[in-house]
Amino acid sequence: MKQVYLDAKEELKRVDHLIYVSLKYTRTVDVLKNVLERMINFYEIILVGRLEEAKELRKIDEVPSQPVKRCELLLEIEPNSIRMKEVITHFLRFRKLLRADFDTINEYRRHVAFIAHTDDEGDVEIHIDFVTEHYKYMQALHEELIKTDEEDD
């Protein structure tokens, strides 16, 4: 499981660089979308890592290749884990936002954003403050998962 957390940390470094360097200087929707992609990758690394661990413990036979199936299986394995439910919720929400049709706002300016048009949530505005705030949440989540895993060992 330690390798999973190292991989997740590397993805967090990429998100950090995109937010605090790339986005600071370019201020484009493409960079915002790349930040979302990296956030999705972070969550996917954690989900797959949990499933691989369950496979090693013989709780499951194989890890599904489809992301939604992975989430459903993880909810079956860990039905009481509030943290995993949050991870899955963010993972699926960000995937939906990234795939949605969108309009750009204030490109090349401080308040660059895009509005994702989703069926269930309506219009969701993704901006610098949104991704920065969520990045901080991801850092805290990563630290908590490492701490929890060390306590289990």
Domain ranges of the chain: 2-99+128-152
Q: 3-class DSSP state for residue 133? A: helix
Give the per-residue pLDDT at 139: 96
> CB within 8 A of 72, min separation 6: which ones?
none
Cα–Cα dist 17/9, whole Å:
12
Per-residue tokens: 99 = 């795939």
Radius of gyration in angstroms for the set of CA atoms belonging to the chain, rounded to a whole number = 16
Give the per-residue pLDDT at 153: 59
Mean pLDDT per 10-residue interval, the chain, length 153 residues: 89 96 93 96 95 92 94 93 92 96 93 94 94 96 86 67
Cα–Cα dist 42/140, whole Å:
13
Give the per-residue pLDDT at 150: 74
Q: 3-class DSSP state for residue 90? A: helix
Give the per-residue pLDDT at 72: 95
45 and 4 Cβ atoms separated by less than 8 Å: yes
